[in-house]
Amino acid sequence: MTEPSGTTSGTPDELVTVVVVDDHALFRRGVRAELESLARRTVSVVGEAGSVDEAVAVIGHRKPDVVLLDVHMPDGGGAAVLSRTRPEHPDVVFLALSVSDAAEDVISVIRAGARGYVTKTISGRELADAVVRVKAGDAVFSPRLAGFVLDAFADRPGATGVVDPELDQLTRRERDVLRLLARGWSYKEIAAELVISVKTVETHVSSVLRKTQSSNRHELSRWASDRRLV
Amino acid sequence: MDDVEDVAPRPDRVDTGVGPAIDPAVDPAVDPAATSTDGAGGTDGAAPSPATAPAPPAAPTAAVVRRVRRRREGAVIAGVAGGIADHLGVDVLRVRLVFVLLVAAAGAGFAAYALLWLFCPIEPRGVRRAVPPRERRQGLGLATLGVLLALVLSGIGGQLSGWVVGPLAVVLTGVALVWREADTPDAEAGLAQRSRRLVGGRLGLLRLLAGAVLVTAGIAAFLLGNVDLSQVQFGLLAALATLAGVVVLTVPWWMRLVRELGAERRERIRGQERADIAAHLHDSVLQTLALIQKQAGEDVAGREVRRLARSQERELRAWLYGPPGGDAGHPAGAGDATFAAALASTAGEVEDDYGLRVAPVVVGDAPLDPDTTALVAAAREAMVNAAKHAGVDEVDVYAEVEPETVEVFVRDRGRGFDPDAVPEDRRGLAGSVRDRMTRHGGRVRLRTAPGEGTEVGLVLPRARRGTHGAPSNGTSETPLEEEAR
C-alpha cells in the first residue's frame, strides 16, 4: 500500500511535505486529492501508509515535515506510531486526524506527542492551514480539543494529587485564550480581543499543549479514564 | 511564527506520558505502584492469578516503587535469584552464592527461596535477555551444591538424623519439580486456558509425576524409618480414606468451580465481541459517514445527503458512547437530564432541520431547571437564526458552566449585520432571545458587523449573585461532567 510520491514533480521546497497514515485507503486518497487540488497549494503528500509498520517505514524513508495520523488503527493505532517514530525522528511533527471525538482518544494522542487534533470532517482548506501551522511549530487546537483541555484542567473541588503545581495550572491568560478557541475564534480574532499579538496567542497555545502533554496531573488521568471508550 | 519554538520547546520527555491517561485496567491491588506508572502494557484483561500476575512493566523513568520480579528467561529453578540480581543490580552468581551460604544457616536459604518464589510475581512476557550457558551451568552447580551442603551440614551437626535429612531432601526436590511445572510461564493466559495448560504437554506430565513420586517416596521413607510397619499400613489406609471422603464431600464445590469457569469465559467472550463490534462500527461506519459529509456536493441533493450523514453519525455516536452529556458507561437516560445533554440534542435538532453543522462544545454541566431550560431555548433561537440568515454551513456553539454563571456562545462566520439597522427578519434574535434571557435574569451580548459573522453571547447567572460574564474570568469550576461525544 505504500505509494511513493507521484506528485512531487517540480515541487518547490516551500511546500510542506506530508505523509498520510490511515488504514482506510479511501480516506487517504480523499485527503490527498483534497490537499493537492487546493487553489493555493501549500502542501504536498509524499507518502501514505495503511498500518503502523508501514507508517514507521514510510516516515523513516520520506522524513516528511508533518504526519497526518489516524488515531484508530489496528496494532496500537496512532499512539503506537508516535511512540515508535518520535525517538528517531524528533523533527517530524504529528497532527492527529480522527473520526473520533472521544475525549480519551483526543487526550491520549496529544499526550503521546501529537501537536494537534482535528476531526476528519474538516475542510481541505482548513486541513492545509492546520498542516502549515503545526509545521511552523504551532499547536492546532480545534474548539473541541480546547474544551476538553479546559475541562481537564478545571479546578474541581477536592482535586488531589497535584504533583507539580507550577506545571499543573493554566495561567489566567492561557485560560482566556483556550476559552476563545473553544468559541471558534481564530488566532487573529483572539489577539485583537485580548489586545496581544498573534505570536503571543501562539505562545500561549503551545504552552497549554506542553502542559497537557507533560502534566503528571492525577486529575487529567482520571478525567480521561472516566471517559474511556468501550 | 518562527520563534515560537524558542518559547515553547517541543517536549521530548513526554514519551511515556500515555500510560496514566489511558490505562485504568491495572489492578491496584496487585500492583500498587502501577497506579502512578506508565502501564501501557498492562491492558490484557485476563484475570491474573496472584502467583503469576502479569503486572505492567515498570516505567524506566518514573520514580516509583520497584518490585522484585522473577526472571522468566534464564531461570534455573524459578528465577528468584535472577530477579533479585536485577532488582539490586548485582551479579546473579553472587545472589546464588548467598542463597547457598544461607542454607548453612539451618536451611534458611531454602525457606527464603521458597517464600520469595511464592510472593514475587514473574516478570512480564517479552523481556529478552541472553543467558550464557556458563551462567546456567554455574546456577545448576550451585543449586546442587546447596542441597549437598544441607545434607552434609545436618549430618555433621547431628541435629537431624540421616533418616530425616535424606527423605527431606528428596521431598524438597519433588516439591521443586511440581512447583516449577505448575508455574510454567505459559500458564497465565486465562483462567480457563490455564486449567488446560496446568499440565503442559507430555514432558510436563512426566515431570509432575516424577515430582509426585519423589514427594511420596520421601514421605514414605521417612515414615518407614521412624514408625514401625503395621502402623504405617494403618496410617496409609486412614489417609487414603480421609482423602476420598474430602473429595466426595467437595464435589459440589468442584462442579461450581468448573461451571463458574465456563460462565466467566463466556462472559469474557461476549464482552470482547461487544467491544469488537463497537470498534468496527467506529472504524468503518463513522469513517464512511465522515467521508460522505466531505464529498457531498453543494447542490440541494448534496446538502440533503450531508444532512442525513450527519444525523446518522450523531445517532451512532450516541449509541456507541452514550448520549452526549452522559458518559458512555452511564447513559443520561431517555430525557435530557442535564444542561449539556439538552444543549447537545438541541444542536442536533437544528442540524437536522437546517442542514448545517452545529458543533457544540460544553465545559462543565448543570442540572436542568427552568432557568437553564430557558437558556437552552434561547441558544436554540440563536442557532436557528444563524442557520437561517448567516449563510454558512457551520455554527460553533460553546457553553461553559461556572459556579456563578452559565454562558453560551453561538458563533457563525457568515454575513453578520449592523445591529443598529436590524432588518425586520431579525426580530427573532432581538425579541425571542433577549426577552427570554431577561425574564430569567440573564443577558445577551451581541458582537456582529457586516461581513464579520455574528456571535451571540448568552449569560445566565446561577446563584443570583454578581453576574460577570466577561470571557476572561479567572478560574473555573466544573462540578459535573462534560459531554462525552
Handedness of CA B463, B467, B468, B469 (dihedral sign): positive
Cell of A136: 511552523
Task: Indicate whether B479 pLDDT > 50.
Answer: no
Question: What pLDDT does A165 receive?
Answer: 54
Q: Which residues in chain A touch residue B327, judged by CB atoms under 8 angstroms apart?
A: 226-227
Instruction: Say what the pLDDT of residue B154 is.
Output: 67
Out of B21, B359, B396, the one facing A225 most closely (by C-beta) is: B21
Gap from A145 CA to chain B (nearest CA, Å) = 9
Mean pLDDT along residues B132-137: 79
In B131-200, alpha helices (H):
133-157, 162-182, 191-197
What residue segments make up the domains of chain A, in order of their start? 16-137, 147-226
Three cell numbers written together for B225: 524409618
Range of lowest pLDDT (B32-36, B195-199, B238-242, B247-251): B32-36
Say whether pTM exceeds 0.80: no
**B425-451: pLDDT as tens digits:** 556 566 778 888 888 888 888 888 787
- Chain segment B184-197, per-residue pLDDT in tens: 554 444 444 444 44
Buried b (16+ CB within 10 A) or exposed e, A123-152: ebeebbbbbbbbbebbbbbbbbbbbbbbbb
Q: Nearest residue on chain B to A186, judged by CA atoms?
A: B413
**What CATH class is the domain A147-226?**
mainly alpha
Minimum Cα–Cα distance from A203: chain B residue: B4
Q: Which three cell numbers stand for residue B300?
A: 440541494
Which residues does chain B have within 8 Å of residue A162's beta carbon, measured at their own beta carbons? none
Of B87, B77, B28, which is closest to residue B53 (Cα–Cα)? B28
Helix (H) or strand (E) holding B380: helix B370-389
- Taking 60 as the threshold, does the pLDDT of residue B260 lie above it? yes
Instruction: Evaluate if residue B54 carries a pLDDT over 60.
Output: no
Distance, in Å, from the CA atom of B350 to the CA atom of B353, rounded to the nearest integer, reads 5
Q: What is the pLDDT of residue B46?
A: 38
Counting residues of chain B whose pLDDT is more than 70, the rounded percentage is 67
* Residues A58-68: tens digit of each pLDDT: 998 888 999 99
ipTM above 0.90? Answer: no
Topology (CATH) of A16-137: Rossmann fold (3.40.50)
pLDDT at B362: 85
Selected residue with higher pLDDT from B15 and A89: A89
d(CA A25, CA A31): 10
Average pLDDT over residues B47-64: 40
Q: What one-character-per-residue DSSP string does A117-166 give? A: EEETTS-HHHHHHHHHHHHTT--EE-HHHHHHHHHHT---TT----S-HH
Q: For the segment B61-102, what is each residue's pLDDT rounded down to a tens digit?
A: 434 456 778 877 777 777 888 888 888 888 888 888 888 888
- Verify whether the Cβ–Cβ distance B472 to A101 is below 8 Å: no
Q: Taking 80 as the threshold, does the pLDDT of residue B420 lie above it?
A: no
CB contacts < 8 A (A, B) = 193
A-chain residues near B475 (CB < 8 A): 155, 172, 175
Q: Looking at residue A19, what is its pLDDT?
A: 92
pLDDT at A222: 59
Q: Are B20 and A216 in contact (CB < 8 Å)?
A: yes
Average pLDDT, chain A: 78
Percent of chain B at pLDDT > 90 equals 1
- Residues from chain B that touch A183, judged by Cβ atoms under 8 A, are 396, 398, 409, 411, 455, 471
What's the confidence (pLDDT) of residue A66?
92
B 270-329 near A (Cβ less than 8 A): 274-275, 278-279, 282-283, 286-287, 290-291, 293-295, 317, 320-321, 327-329
Query: Mean of the pLDDT values across residues A16-33?
Result: 87
Mutation target among A14, A183, A193, A222 for the B interface, most CBs of B within 10 A? A183
Indicate which of A88, A107, A109, A151 best probes the interface with B, i.e. most B CBs within 10 Å of its own CB.
Answer: A151
Are A97 and A120 contacting, i.e. CB atoms less than 8 angstroms apart? yes
Kindly report the number of other CB atoms within 10 A of residue A19's CB atom. Answer: 27
Picking from B201, B205, B149, B151, the residue whose alpha carbon sits closest to that of residue B177 is B205
Instruction: Say if the Cβ atoms of B317 and A121 lie within 8 Å.
Output: no
Residue B167 to residue A67: CA distance in whole angstroms? 68
Mean pLDDT of chain B: 70
> What pLDDT score does A18 carry?
92
A155: which 3 cell numbers?
Answer: 479546578
Range of the domain at B372: 338-461
Q: What pLDDT sits at residue B484?
A: 31
pLDDT of residue B467: 38
A135 or B282: which leads in pLDDT: A135
Structure-model confidence comparison of residues A228 and B239, the more confident one: B239
- B197 and A CB contact within 8 Å: no
Q: In the structure grid, which three cell numbers stand for residue B248, read together?
A: 466426595
Instruction: Give B478's pLDDT tier (boundaries 50, 70, 90).
Output: very low
pLDDT of residue B250: 85
> Once rounded to an integer, what is the mean pLDDT over residues A162-184?
75
Query: Closest residue of B to A27, CA-based?
Result: B291
Q: How far is B475 from chain A, CA to nearest CA, in Å? A: 7
Cβ neighbours for A6, distance < 8 A, ≥ 6 positions apart: none
Please give the residue of chain A at the shortest CA–CA distance from B272: A230
Total number of domains constituting chain B? 1
The larger pLDDT score, comparing residue A146 to residue B423, is at A146
List of E strands, chain A: 16-21, 43-49, 66-69, 93-98, 116-119, 140-141
Q: Out of B21, B361, B478, whose CB is closest to A111?
A: B21
Has residue B199 been placed in a domain?
no
CATH of the domain at B433: 3.30.565.10
A107-129 pLDDT per residue, tens: 778 888 888 888 877 888 888 88
What per-residue confidence (pLDDT) applies to A67? 92
DSSP structure class, residue B448:
E
B49: which residues sit within 8 A by CB, 6+ positions away? B188, B191, B194
> Pick from A111, A176, A199: which is nearest to B472 by CB?
A176
What is the pairing mode between strands A16-21 and A66-69? parallel
Q: Residue B141: which pLDDT band, with cuts at 50, 70 and 90? A: confident
Give A225→chain B minimum CA distance, Å: 6
For residue B52, the model assigns a pLDDT of 40
Residue of B15, B321, B361 to mutate for A, most A C-beta atoms under 10 A? B361
Amino acid at B482: E
In single-letter form, the type of residue at position B77 comes to I
Q: Which residue has the higher pLDDT, B175 or B332?
A: B175
Binary contact (B411, A183; C-beta < 8 A): yes
Residue B76 covered by a domain: no
pLDDT-based confidence at residue B55 (cuts at 50, 70, 90): very low
CB contact under 8 A, A156 and B13: no
Is position B433 within any domain?
A: yes
